[in-house]
Amino acid sequence: MTLGLTALELARIQFAFTVSFHIIFPAISIGLASFLAIL
């Protein structure tokens, strides 16, 4: 099996990373801000 990635597959991988960071980082920042507000 060759690992010839097309532009569509690369775009899907990039989109997956973008969406995952877009979900993870706001959740961490909101949680950290609320934690610091409680302290």
The DSSP 8-state label assigned to residue 6 in this structure reads -
pLDDT of residue 1: 54
Q: Which are the contacts of 30, defined by CB distance < 8 A and separation ≥ 6?
A: none
pLDDT of residue 29: 94
pLDDT digits (tens, 9 = 90+) for 1-39: 567 789 999 999 999 999 999 999 999 999 999 999 998
CA angle 5, 7, 10 (to 5 degrees): 65
pLDDT of residue 23: 94
pTM above 0.85, yes or no: no
pLDDT of residue 3: 73
The two three-digit tokens of residue 39, written as one number: 């302290």
